[in-house]
Amino acid sequence: MLLREVVYIDQLRSGMIKGRKQIDAVQATMRGEHAIRVGKREYEIVKRLNGKQLERGMKVLASHNQFNQGVNVFEILGVSDVSVQYGEGGVAYQSVKATLIANDVKTLKALEAKDDKNEYGYSHHLWVRDLENNEKGPWVYLFEGRWSVGSGAEALSFSLLKRSTQEVPPAEPPEKLPPPEEPEF
């Protein structure tokens, strides 16, 4: 029995031109209507998470739609401390909750405010492994109390993923993605 359609992760991205097709695909995926194909593995969404719930070993869909529309599938590796600029010192905490407790704060906004007292770049970063290319690094940082990525500080929304155990149709990679549709004003 086929229960769920499979979408390739690239089908959930449209960049600055937020095409209706990609927006609809992301929304359907977030509702759990699609399994997500990353390489040869398929994942399905279990539940939404807030930024304080992230911990080592979780596989998450990190989506953004503020300036550019996009998604990443990450494995959470942990959180850096502030001893080395831009989180390059590696993982110091196994979870965001442990980071908050160690820094005697209750919210990400309070942690960011505490970090802002340091020299620029000496702040907590979320270490992740990108499941598409297996690269890892401290690419996720706090901005306005939310985990963010990129030079435009794209705020992220997180969903917990699990490996798909349902029978899904074999997904054929799209030959070439159609260009995103122009937004209607």
**If we measure between CA atoms, which residue out of 58, 69, 24, 55 comes closest to residue 45?**
58
Task: For residues 30 and 40, give the distance between their C-alpha atoms in angstroms, rounded to a whole number.
Answer: 20
177 pLDDT band (50/70/90 cuts)? low
Per the listing, tokens 């699609």 go with 34
136 pLDDT band (50/70/90 cuts)? very high
Indicate the domain borders of the chain.
47-160
Predicted model pTM: 0.81
**In the Cβ-directed half-sphere of 42, how many Cα atoms lie within 13 Å?**
18
112 pLDDT band (50/70/90 cuts)? very high
Quick one: 149 exposed, middle or buried, by C-beta within 10 A (0-12, 13-18, 19+)?
buried
Please give the pLDDT value at position 28.
78
Other C-beta atoms closer than 10 Å to the C-beta of 27 total 12
Please give the pLDDT value at position 131.
92
pLDDT higher at 117 or 34: 117
Please give the pLDDT value at position 1.
33
Task: For residues 178 and 140, give the distance between their C-alpha atoms in angstroms, rounded to a whole number.
Answer: 29
Please give the pLDDT value at position 69.
73
pLDDT digits 0-9 by tens, 55-106? 999 999 998 877 777 788 999 999 999 999 999 999 999 999 999 999 999 9
Quick one: 67 exposed, middle or buried, by C-beta within 10 A (0-12, 13-18, 19+)?
middle
116-143 mean pLDDT: 92
